Structure 1
Amino acid sequence: MANKLAYPYGVALINGHIKAQASDFRVTEELGFQPTGEGEHLFLLIEKSMMTTHELIEHVAHDFSIKARDIGYCGLKDKLAVTRQWLSLYLPGQMHSLKLASVADYHLLDHKWHNKKLRPGTHRSNYFEVVVRDVESMPEITRRQLDMIRQQGMANYFGEQRFGRQGDNVEQAVRAFNNPRRARKLSRTKKSLYLSALRSFLFNRVLSKRIEQGIWKKPICGDVFMLSGSQSIFYEPINDELLERYNHQDISSTISLHGAGNRLLQSQAREIEDAVLAEHEAIGLCLLQAKAKLQMRATRVAVADLRVEFDKSEQSLYIEARLPRGSYFTTLLEHFIDTGRGK
């Protein structure tokens, strides 16, 4: 299914390749809080490479002689990368007696005790250090695009990961949910994966349509807003104070993650969503039949600590950036460089 998206600062003029090797893509998960230092959950900061988060969990479960279901995590990290992420291990009564296991397949960097298990989305942000190879030039337009990202943030598109390795999760989901017998046999994990792909696709289409219509720098009538760094949403008529907060990236407009529930957007904002839902009616019906719960997602996110250096002799870009949880580094790249991914 075609998924060409519009970006707010124009078309990317340069090309490059990411993940030529695992060390080109480094990610550090940032909790955003300090563990209590006591409790039944051992937090481990682990560096891994060439394994998925689920594979890591299986290794850790084996090494600490516990069940995989007793291990918590914040987010799934790339396989072809060097990633640092936190896991929590449920180890009741072992805080004063536990000796850390000797491990071979990953590196233990830190450990702390806490009174709660880690859950997906618990962390605050991810810090990226990435090398993009085969970049021939760094034109002034690209530098201006980067400046605009710093000033106005990036479009909060879901990344290619949401749509499967072959990019066909949406098509597979529609076929599955339109076959009652097959839908009943879906595992909980597969059903969740399919619902995420469908909601992400609709969100991306609505956001792209807004950008195509020039709706980016300012909110529009009927928007619902989200506070930066939180999931708190509110409605307020557009006024000078709200516009100032919007310009400072304190708040953002939102778009529905489609599902059952009272739709919050009104007027012009609602009309844009309605147009996309009408175009992709089968997807909307699948989500309603599967009883997905309506949620909201911000249209943009601030990109903190963005640094980009171009090495002409190496034909490489060296990029550092901090993104809030739930946002995608590959989406950031698409604002100014074509890496050939997600096409």
Structure 2
Amino acid sequence: MDVAALAHARGAPPPCRGRIRVEPADFRVDEDCAIEHTGSGEHLWCRIEKTGLTTHDAVQAISRRAGVHPRHIGVAGLKDRHAVTRQWLSIAWPVHDPLPDLDDLPGVRIESMVRHERKLKRGAHRGNRFVIRIRDLTGDTAALDEDIRRVAACGVPNYFGAQRFGHGGRNIDLARRLFAGRRLSRNRRGFALSAARSLLFNAVLDARVRDGSWQRLLDGEAVMLDGSHSLFARNETEQAAEALEARLAAFDIHPSGPLPGRSDGDVVSGIAAELESAVLADYPDLTAGLAEAGLDGARRALRLPVRELEWHRDGDALTLSFRLPTGAFATSVLREIVDTAEAGAESADGA
């Protein structure tokens, strides 16, 4: 599945075009990791700013300088190379040892250090704040304000971005080889399984964008609470339809789509289940492979609220700033506003 061909909420690709990531400072990401540090403990937490490096690159550089194995360095999320990003990482570091000298690391600047009792775990951050500059705007730039206001009011389809599938969709090919019996390393197996689930989710969401139901609750909907993975079945709740619609309008709840595996608890039924089954029937090898791999089924919100969205025009450039939760992709927002050409790919957590 070509991510660029997925349906747009606006009904068609944006009439305005532009370029992103012309230089790293055009794409800024600030990780929101609201953890209160204890000020003591065996883990040294560092707030870093990196430029022109992936998070893996930064971890490797700090590992070499500090003499600590990478497995003893924790990060919450993975950030892209083609950006200026700020995030926390933790280093296992004895309490009585002098602080490591991490100055003058190419592409890495240490903003602060603080001790904590625990290692930083993947997914511990709440989300990311983006500031993105889009250059060389052409086309119908008069449509920009209307499209941005619509995104602020309605959110966007919560698609997985192209990075999830690898260059040319290679992670999907990897998944099919895995399901055919090929042995893979732990990391490559994880990439393959994640890509397969993401493709199936995108396919269901694409169908619901095309029929206009991606921001409506269908009969039998598995309803997801905003900011959590908690679900309830629309057909089993005692809440009145009017109350559910009010919560939907307030972004308190969202329709959800499948991340297939062995089972998702059968929380979806009725029309919603029929639609999902019809879409997934086109991918029997992937759905069967995910179930046989032992993954538990899960759900993901179909709708992505774009919080604190602000914008500024400066000649043929547009600057957008907004906040997204963990696991959301910034290009899912951009694709509803500007048809972009970019220099680099997204990070694993959407940055």
If the TM-score is normalised by the length of the shorter chain, which range does it land in? over 0.9
Q: 2:15 aligns with which of 13, 16, 23?
A: 13
Q: Deviations over 1:216-262 (max 9, x none)?
A: 34211111122212222222446111110110001111111000123
Residue 245 of structure 1: aligned partner: 247
Unaligned stretches of 5+ residues in structure 1: none
Cα–Cα, structure 1 residues 74 and 279, in superposed 2: closer, same or farther, change >3 Å? same
1:203-218 alignment runs, 5 A limit: 203-218=201-216
> Percent same amino acid at aligned positions?
35
RMSD: 1.8
Is the partner of 1:279 in helix, strand or coil?
coil
**TM-score, normalising length: structure 1:** 0.92
Residue 281 of structure 2: aligned partner: 278
Name the CA distance, whole Å, in 2 between partners of 1:21 and 1:278: 43
Residue 99 of structure 2: aligned partner: 99
Is 1:159 paired with 2:152?
no
Is 1:146 paired with 2:148?
yes
Name the CA distance, whole Å, in 2 between partners of 1:167 and 1:36: 43
Is the partner of 1:9 in helix, strand or coil?
coil
Residue 322 of structure 1: aligned partner: 323
Cα–Cα, structure 1 residues 10 and 143, in superposed 2: closer, same or farther, change >3 Å? farther
Q: 2:184 aligns with which of 186, 205, 219?
A: 186
CA contact (8 A) 2:171 2:192 kept: yes
CA contact (8 A) 1:228 1:301 kept: no
CA contact (8 A) 1:224 1:253 kept: yes
Q: Deviations over 1:116-166 (max 9, x none)?
A: 211111100101111111112564433222112111212111011101123
Q: Deviations over 1:6-31 (max 9, x none)?
A: 12223211111111111111111110
Name the CA distance, whole Å, in 2 between partners of 1:247 and 1:188: 41
The one-letter code sitting in structure 1 at the alignment partner of 2:99 is: K
Residue 72 of structure 1: aligned partner: 74
CA contact (8 A) 1:256 1:263 kept: no
CA contact (8 A) 1:225 1:233 kept: yes
Name the CA distance, whole Å, in 2 between partners of 1:144 and 1:199: 33
Name the CA distance, whole Å, in 1 between partners of 2:11 and 2:329: 19
Count residues with an aligned counterpart. Answer: 334
The one-letter code sitting in structure 1 at the alignment partner of 2:45 is: F
The one-letter code sitting in structure 2 at the alignment partner of 1:219 is: L
CA contact (8 A) 2:262 2:296 kept: yes
The runs of 4+ residues in structure 1 deviating greater than 4 Å are none
Shift of 1:291: 1.6
**TM-score, normalising length: structure 2:** 0.90
Name the CA distance, whole Å, in 2 between partners of 1:286 and 1:74: 29
Q: Which moved more, 1:197-206 or 1:272-281?
A: 272-281
Is the partner of 2:129 in helix, strand or coil?
strand
Residue 333 of structure 1: aligned partner: 334
Name the CA distance, whole Å, in 1 between partners of 2:39 and 2:247: 37
Is the partner of 2:48 in helix, strand or coil?
strand
Is 1:303 paired with 2:303?
no
Residue 227 of structure 2: aligned partner: 229
1:77-88 alignment runs, 5 A limit: 77-88=79-90
The one-letter code sitting in structure 2 at the alignment partner of 1:6 is: A
Cα–Cα, structure 1 residues 99 and 91, in superposed 2: closer, same or farther, change >3 Å? closer
Q: 1:294 aligns with which of 294, 297, 320?
A: 297
Name the CA distance, whole Å, in 1 between partners of 2:187 and 2:279: 27
CA contact (8 A) 1:207 1:255 kept: yes
Is the partner of 2:168 in helix, strand or coil?
coil
